[in-house]
Each structure stands twice: as structure tokens, then as C-alpha cells.
Amino acid sequence: MKCSSNFAKKIMQYQLILASKSPRRKDLLAKTGLDFEIRTKDTEEVYPSDLQLDQVPEYLANLKASAFDNELKENEILIAADTVVILNDKIIGKPKNYDEALAFLKELNGSVHEVITGLSIKSFAQQSSFSEMTKVWFSKLSDQTLERYITEKEPYDKAGAYAIQEWIGFVGIEKIEGNYPNVLGLPVYRLLNELKKFNISMK
């Protein structure tokens, strides 16, 4: 996806910052043609116990953005993100080890789950946030296939213990309903439209 030349020129007058260590988000944002830099802070990803699960990613994205409070310059725009996988009213997070990864994949196996990415866009003067949801149909795979995937790919940095762009996505994802890049961790189309609407003074 390429941005319109006028929009790209306006954004280029600002320093765009992606507050994420995710190589997938970095790659997706780079494909838009926008220039940006990576700037991250370690943030404890905790949220209120009574928060609705579908609101967690946006809450955490705002939490990550708030770590940059009082640091952004007038010409900087920050993008922070968080992605969660939800199945049966439970968040399936990033697995800590092989056994947990296998348990997560067995839960997702043969089921429909939701992938929700929350984004927070922050400038020197203001902040806006939103979340995007995609439904994913995971077909029934053998235990041997799940075990081989974990051994080969070690998906310990991935929510839900899998990456849709890897081979398990080709053989195991029957269909999705919603935005594909959102499953990778960055709903690019929605992000670009939010940036266009961002109430800042384009020089």
C-alpha cells in the first residue's frame, strides 16, 4: 500500500515514530512508503481486571504511548500498538515456553478466534486511539503438525503462539473476516486514515 503523494509529503514534515519492537509492524509500516524511526520503552503490560477483553489492546497501546509523555517534540508523531488473541472470553497471550505454546495452539485448533489490535497515535499536543478486530477460522491440525511448527518457528514472541504469514497460516487458517494486516499486528488502512484525520497543523 502506498500513500498519496500529498499525504506523504505532509507526514514527512513530521518525525513519525513507531513505538514497537515487532519486526512485522516495522515491515508493514515500511510498505506504506512513510519514513519513520523505531523508539521503544519497556512497559509493564498490565490492565484492570474488570476491563472488557476487547478493550485491552487499546488500553495497553495507550499505556505504551503514555511512557513517552513530556518527551515528544512538536514535530513528532508516535504510534504505539498492542495485539491480543481472544478465544472463549479469554486472552491467549505470548507463550513462555514450548509446553505453553502447544497448549495455546491446541486451544485455537479447530476454533474461531478474534485478533484485536489497539493503536494509540500521540503528538506533542494530542492523542487518539482505536482498535480493530479480525475473526480467524483455525482448521483442525494434527498434534504432530502443531509440535513441528513450535519446534521450527519458536513462536514465543507471538500472541496466540502463531504467525499467520508463516506456513502454519497457509495450512491451518481456513479463512478470516476482517483486515489481514491487523492479524500481523498493524491495521495499516485504518492507521493511515486516522493519521489523515489527526487534528494537527500540517506545515
| Active-site annotation, residues | 82
What residues pair up with 94 in beta bridges, in sequence order? Answer: none
Q: Residue 194's CB: how many other CB atoms inside 10 A?
A: 16
Contacts of 188 (CB under 8 A, 6+ apart): 1, 28, 29, 31, 32, 181
Q: Report d(CA 112, CA 101) in Å as an integer.
A: 18
Q: Calculate the alpha carbon distances from 75 to 63, 90, 95, 148 in Å.
A: 21, 39, 38, 47
Residue whose C-alpha is closest to residue 190's, from 53, 15, 61: 61
The SS3 assignment for 36 reads strand
The β-bridge relationship of strands 36-38 and 15-18 is: parallel
Q: Are 89 and 53 in contact (CB under 8 A)?
A: yes
